[in-house]
Structure 1
Amino acid sequence: MDAANPLVFEKAAVRSEKERVEQWLGQLDVALQSESRAAVASLFAPDGHWRDLLAFTWSITPRQGAENIAALMVAKQGSAQARGFAIAEGRTPPRRVQRAGIDVIEGIFRFETGVGRGFGVVRLLAAEPSRAFQLMTSLHELKGFEEKIGKRRPTGAAISRNFGGANWKDERIASQAYTDRDPVVLVAGGGQAGLSIAATLGRLGVDTLVVDRHERVGDNWRKRYHSLALHNGTEFNHLPYMPFPSSWPVYLPKDMLADWFEAYAWAMELNFWTGTELKSAAYDASAGRWNAIVRHADGTERTVRARHLIFANGLLGFPRVPDLPGLKDFAGDVMHSAEFSDGANWRGKKALVLGTGTSAHDVAQDLHANGCEATIIQRGSTYVVSIEPSAKLIYGVYEGIPLEDGDLLVATNTLPVVRKNLQLLTARMTELDRKMIDGLVARGFKWHMGDDNAGHQMLIRRRYGGYYLDAGCAELIIKGEVGLLHFDEIERFVAGGALLRDGSVKPADLVVLATGFDTQEVLVGKLLGDEVAKKVGRIWGIGPDGEMNNMWKRTAQEGLWFVGGSFTNCRIYSRYVALQIKAIEEGIVPKR
């Protein structure tokens, strides 16, 4: 009778999943203690995947194939001393799910190493639960150097009711001035990437200074175009330690976000110099530090001597302005999309917007809303996807579980699994968006499914652009309310607009170049020199190992780091960058 009771059956199934994961973790523990490659390999599917975030390799390291996984894991076990693998209490319990089209039993576990404690994710093949399809191991904290949060928070005794002495405000002013010291870490850029890494380093007791050229914290969003709002949900965009209020809107307006950044920097007690720009830096190998020249808004300069330099300036360099035939002859205004604020000044006029990425569409839509006749110029095929219902499918892994558990699940995937997941999701998005896609194509829009048919997320990984998350401009193009022109129809620009190959002129008062930005390598070359830029190589984009080039890990240049990407990227990977730097500073990981 019990077997027919759904509740009893469900409890039995949960116990079975938990037992399967417990058994597998126990076998992994035994195999690692014996340092047996054969025993470790037997625990993985022949085409299984392992992604290590510092715990074994002190880097972000993927492996595919049971033998390859076992070889590296056993080789590193002597120094890692990984042990104590067990299901993590208080986290999402083991469950049956489908990942990359494969039925798996997924569990979150804890473990420890010789120097730290970690969390991980295992996905056992549901059809063969003695073997893992995926394993992720991540270092969460260093023993003896845990984050100063919760029960470990500072007592405040030194500055509380300190009659006749310095109070908290005095201490903050003195700390930010750096009159008696230099920071250990200098962070260039104060957006979500810079704030996230500075906050995480601060909780680990690493003296960190953020510099940003804008006048106020948050100006990197505040000064962007008037109608801008985030295109993904607020619940996925929290910064470390301090989530957005639960009453805030699903899609945050730029000014709301900018003001939050300012509050965040204050609440996290970040040392932040506004109106200050990194002008150049050179690494002194003998001293093991950077000599970085920063320039304040008043023109004065200071040399900051920091052991680590982190680029957190948005992954992009200077605005890319193409040399277009005849553009110098155009009598109207020309601006890059980075300079565009709103379309209010262009009411009753005509504008050409070169580009079909998200910025181009948003600019065209803003111009149209302000009574300007806007036409988009398309150069190459573009992936367009609706924000709702389609783009939000990317965050389905977070559904019904705590954010921190979802972050672990997101960090589990190696490139082949990421690609397969995205291909399946993109196919589903295409079904949902079929009416919109057909409408765009009928208007002559060149639409494609992205690299590897994997949609916008793969385009982000490959080139950080080439897609549009539709906030309404697609419908305007379909209806003909925003014009569409192909770049190869243009002969050249003339004083009154664009001269087309058929001899007619497309009139314009404004040309907006939504043509992207130079790569980060160009900026590195300018600030640090071509030798360093060449030594480091590509930044962002998928590397030979399937990970992002030079992101969130040690680079070929000692003391140089790169962080950036989405809010989710910044929240997840700031921990791993901070742990690496802390480990280097404490001598746990040697300097090169």
Structure 2
Amino acid sequence: MDPARRPQLSAAYADHAEPDLGALVDRWLASFEQALVARDSAALHAVLGEECHWRDLLAFTWSITPHDDRDTVVTGLIEAQARVQASGFTLARDRTPPRIVTRHGRESIEAIFTFETGNGRGDGLVRLLADDPTRAWVLATSLNELKGHEEPVGKRRPVDPASSRTFGGANWSDLRAEEQAFEDREPAVVIIGAGQAGLAIAARLGLLGVGTLVIDRNARVGDTWRNRYHSLALHNQVNLNQMPYLPWPPNWPKYLQKDMIGGWLENYAWAMECNVWTGTSFLGGDHDAASGTWNARVRRADGSERTLHPRHLIFANGVAGKPTTPHIPGLDDFAGTVMHTSDFTSGAEWAGKRALVLGAGTSGHDVAQDLHGHGVDATLIQRGPSTITSVKAAGLVHSLYYDEELPTDDADIIAAAGSYPLLVRGYQAAVKRIKQVDADLLAGLAARGFKLDFGEDETGHQMKFRRRHGGYYLDCGCAQLIIDGDVGLMQYEDIERFVPEGALMKDGRVEPADLVVTATGFQSQQQLVRDLLGDAIADKLGPIWGVAPDGELNNMFRPTAQDGLWFIGGGFAHARIYSKYIALNIAAREFGLVA
């Protein structure tokens, strides 16, 4: 062990010049289990630090449940233990070994462990205080599988295509065609949206034996990516963006282009045997409380309609609804073309023209850069301060996946361990480092008059993503174009109104334009639910996305106030991590393990 990384151990361990971290973790796990099994409040208090955070991911609570002070951690563990009967807490010898880390500004001994409950098996993460390894300050518990309903993977893979099906025939293609048709049966689950989130859940539910149908209005799986603007690519690296079960090809670039993603998702749906109806629109539905099923109306590609009766309905179509453009004075008078970023495909047809892009978030910057690259005189109109971070600096937030190069499963449990107070602390620390890395970039933007911010509490783009799903840009080149003057910059507050020729400025000038692209966001998901499922359900749910009172995301990844209604959104990492918990939660209900 590097002496510089040796923890300052308590007196009980001070004689260990080279402490055996595994032995320290084993000792803590044994003490924790003894206290938990006995449901001994005093003993549990003794193995937990004064500052203590526990995030449970289904294992104890059948939900995603944070606890952020020692008393509530102890109370929650004791109350749940009577039901779940957790035991067998053991250091995970085949995972990343215990190590000394500094996370959220605190040095800890971090370790991954395994355990069992009456119904399942799980893993977890503990961070022991480096100066007192008898106490933990961070604990996470995650359900991984249900006993008796393990996924048929690896050594449990089926013998032949028919062995895991409930209908006859041995030819795989025949089986798949029959399974996808749902002609004589109802799916237990209907997923709206065949993007990365919908497919990840469908793959997991399929392996759990839960009949699942994914519907998508596009003609092909992957079109949700293919149909976006021509230059679109991910702004973070492949390490972070793996899909469950099937990693990206090892020769693919760090930053994936949208058509590569579209093709991969189509192959993923085929390989993971996801049942998908493309060209199918969800028209609306209502919930029958007496039968516990939905009346979900869909329209197929041939125009025919069917009412499906699943027990579970999952919205996996992102966290936003229809495109929206706020009232912009005079925009209706503009004689050129107006389009939302959702309709923008390429700047090629606008070569030699002038364009104004209204909005300085991710899509606004991407569209402005695309226009510039096609020979368009493009100007970005900033409506309010934005958070700008280079993709290099943004990687500091995801160092688990980049710098530490951990196996994806290990990085995922470490990332998922953080409850809201820890995330705030971690993001604030990351922003301080980001500002140092991006000092020249930020100074250049400020010199051009670009309005910068890092959130109301200096948590940067990550917390903006959680709180409002916008207001930031991970720079892939457009920021430098603005700094160099290759992409123009205007402030919306300096515009009087739009006129037929372009934007009339308050100083009397007219900024001419042939095209205005509105990068002004989308309706809330709650509004989409209101349109499709009615006011009563929308009002019962409340906000979808954004920070809930307990610090989790509103109505995301866990049971909602409406029986049988689930939501998933976010990026590839959210899809990979949280699809597991939605699938296990639904499977547990289907198998009668939880009401």
TM-score (norm 2): 0.95
Q: Distance in 2 between matches of 1:541 and 1:551?
A: 9
Query: Are residue 125 (structure 1) and residue 112 (structure 2) matched?
Result: no
Q: Secondary structure in 1 aligned to 2:251? A: coil
Decide which of 343, 352, 364 is 1:348's aligned counterpart. 352
The equivalent of 1:459 in structure 2 is: 464
SS at match of 1:39: helix
Residue 480 (str. 1) matches residue 485 (str. 2):
yes
SS in 2 for 1:197: helix
Q: Tell whether 2:211 aligns with 1:207.
A: yes
Q: 2:501–2:513: 8 Å Cα contact kept in structure 1?
A: yes
**Secondary structure of residue in 2 paired with 1:205:** coil
1:411 aligns with 2:413: no
Partner-residue secondary structure (3-state), 1:335: strand
1:309 aligns with 313
Instruction: Please state how far the C-alpha of 1:166 moved relative to its aligned partner.
Output: 5.0
> 1:491-546 CA distances to partner (integer Å, 9 max, x unpaired)?
11110001111111110000000001111000000000011000011111110001
Residue deviations 1:88-130, cap 9 Å, x none? 1200111101010100000100000111111000001101211
Report how far residue 449 of structure 1 moved.
1.4
Q: Within 1, Cα distance between the matches of 2:444 and 2:241?
A: 32
Deviation string, structure 1 residues 444-492 (Cα, Å, up to 9, x no partner): 1000112310111000000111000101111111111111110011111
Shift of 1:557: 0.3
Which of 571, 574, 577 is 2:582 aligned to? 577
Provide the C-alpha distance between the structure 1 equivalents of 2:163 and 2:145, rounded to a whole number of angstroms: 28
Cα distance, 1:559–1:383 mapped onto 2, change above 3 Å = same
Alignment coverage as a number of residue pairs: 580
Q: Indicate if the aligned counterparts of 1:14 and 1:95 stay in contact, CA closer than 8 A.
A: no
Question: Which residue identity lines up with residue 123 of structure 2 in the other structure?
Answer: F
- Unpaired segments ≥5 residues, structure 2: 7-15
Taking structure 1 as reference, are residues 13 and 116 closer, same or farther at Cα in structure 2, changes over 3 Å only?
farther
1:19 aligns with 2:20: no
Matched, 1:237 2:265: no
Contact 2:161–2:171, Cα closer than 8 Å, also in 1: no
Q: Which residue, 61, 70, 73 being the options, matches 2:74?
A: 70
In structure 2, do the counterparts of structure 1 residues 85 and 424 end up closer, same or farther at CA, with 3 Å as the change threshold? same
Partner of 1:553: 558
Distance, in Å, in 1 between the alignment partners of 2:217 and 2:324 is 19
8 A contact 2:162–2:169 mirrored in 1: no
* Matched residue, 1:446: 451
Contact 1:355 1:514 in 2 (8 A): yes
Shifted more, 149-158 versus 34-43: the winner is 149-158
Q: Out of 390, 398, 411, which is 1:395 matched to?
A: 398
The 1:57/1:351 distance shift into structure 2, 3 A limit, reads: same
Letter in 2 for 1:515: T
Q: CA–CA distance in 2 between the matches of 1:422 and 1:375?
A: 31
Residue 498 of structure 1: which of 503, 510, 516 is its match? 503
1:146 and 1:487 map into 2 onto residues whose CA distance is 56
Give, in angstroms, the shift of residue 391 of structure 1.
0.9
Equivalent position amino acid for 1:54 in 2: L
CA 1:156–1:3: 2 relative to 1, 3 Å: closer
Q: 1: distance between equivalents of 2:58 and 2:163?
A: 36
Cα drift, residue 238 of structure 1: 1.0
How many Å apart are 1:298 and its aligned residue? 2.9
Does residue 384 of structure 1 match 2:374?
A: no
Partners of 1:56 and 1:122 in 2: CA distance: 16
Give 1:277 deviation, angstroms: 1.0
Distance in structure 2 (CA, Å) of the matches to 1:575 and 1:255: 26
The answer to whether structure 1 residue 299 and structure 2 residue 303 are counterparts is: yes
Q: Provide the secondary structure at the position in 2 that maps to 1:141.
A: strand
Report the Cα distance in structure 1 between the residues aligned to 2:279 and 2:161, rounded to whole angstroms: 33
Instruction: Give CA-to-partner distance per residue, 1:399-438, whole Å, 9 cap, x none.
Output: 1321110000001001111111111111101111010101
SS at match of 2:107: strand
Confirm whether residue 568 of structure 1 aligns to residue 567 of structure 2. no
1:174 aligns with 2:210: no
Q: Does 1:223 align with 2:223?
A: no
Shift of 1:394: 1.5
* CA 425–220 in structure 1, closer or farther in 2 if over 3 Å, else same: same
Which residue identity lines up with residue 112 of structure 1 in the other structure? E
> Any conservation in 2 of the 1:159–1:167 contact (CA below 8 Å)?
no
SS of aligned partner of 2:543: coil
Contact 1:289 1:305 in 2 (8 A): yes
The alpha-carbon deviation at position 20 of structure 1 amounts to 1.2
Q: Give the % identical residues.
A: 55
Contact persistence 1:45–1:65 (CA under 8 A): no
Partner Cα separation in structure 1 for residue 578 and residue 445 of structure 2:
37
CA contact (8 A) 1:44 1:66 kept: yes
The Cα offsets for residues 153-179 of structure 1, whole Å up to 9 and x where unpaired, read as 22116489xxx9551111111111111
Are the structure 2 counterparts of residues 449 and 182 from structure 1 closer, same or farther at C-alpha, using a change threshold of 3 Å? Answer: same
1:375 matches 2:375 = no
Change (3 A) 1:125 1:347: same
Q: Give the structure 2 partner of residue 518 of structure 1.
A: 523
Most deviating of 298-307 and 179-188: 298-307
In structure 1, the residue corresponding to 2:125 is in which secondary structure? strand
Residue equivalent to 1:535:
540
Query: Alpha carbons of 1:329 and 1:355: their partners in 2 closer, same or farther (altered >3 Å)?
Result: same
Q: Which runs of 5+ in 1 are unaligned?
A: none
2-structure distance, mates of 1:172, 1:287: 29
CA 1:281/1:409 → structure 2, altered by over 3 Å: closer, same or farther?
A: same
State whether residues 451 and 458 of structure 1, in contact with CA within 8 Å, keep that contact through their aligned partners in structure 2: no
2: CA distance, partners of 1:21 / 1:172: 47
Tell me the CA shift for residue 299 of structure 1: 2.1
Structure 2 CA distance for aligned equivalents of residues 523 and 281 of structure 1? 12
User: Aligned partners of 1:397, 1:49: CA distance in 2, in Å?
Assistant: 20
Aligned to 2:94: 90
Secondary structure (helix, strand or coil) at the match of 1:187 reads: strand
- Matched-pair contact (CA < 8 Å) for 2:162–2:175: no
Q: Give, in angstroms, the shift of residue 56 of structure 1.
A: 0.9
The aligned amino acid for 2:558 is: K
Offset at 1:67? 1.3
Residues in 1 aligned to 2:119 and 2:197: alpha-carbon distance in whole angstroms? 27
Match of 2:12 in 1: none
* Counterpart AA for 1:29: E
Q: 2:397 corresponds to which letter in structure 1?
A: I
The answer to whether the 8 Å contact 1:196/1:570 transfers is yes
Distance (Å, rounded) in 2 between the aligned partners of 1:288 and 1:89: 43
Consecutive aligned runs of 4 or more in structure 1 exceeding 2 Å deviation: 12-15, 157-160
Alignment partners' CA distance in 1, 2:513 and 2:18: 65
How far did residue 13 of structure 1 move?
Answer: 7.0
Conserved? CA contact 1:42–1:66, under 8 Å: no
CA-to-partner distance for each residue in 1:245-304, whole Å, 9 max, x for gaps?
111111111101100000000000110001101110110111110010011233221111
Work out whether 1:38 is the aligned partner of 2:33: no
1:184 aligns with 2:188: yes
Instruction: Check if 1:262 corresponds to 2:266.
Output: yes
Query: Which residue type is aligned with residue 420 of structure 2?
Result: L
- Distance in 2 separating the partners of 1:377 and 1:357: 10
Partner Cα separation in structure 2 for residue 206 and residue 166 of structure 1: 20
CA distance in 1, matches of 2:554, 2:245: 27
Cα distance, 1:530–1:233 mapped onto 2, change above 3 Å: same
**Cα distance in 2 between the residues matched to 1:504 and 1:566:** 42
Cα-to-partner distance string for 1:537-575 (whole Å, 9 max, x where unaligned) = 111111000111111111000000001111111101111
1:571 and 1:32 mapped to 2: Cα distance?
Answer: 31
| Structure 2 residue matching 1:385: 3-state secondary structure | strand
Which one-letter code corresponds to 2:338 in the other structure? V
The answer to whether structure 1 residue 138 and structure 2 residue 147 are counterparts is no
Query: What letter matches 2:552 in structure 1?
Result: E
Residue 149 (structure 1) aligned with residue 153 (structure 2)? yes
Using the size of structure 1 for normalisation, the TM-score is: 0.96
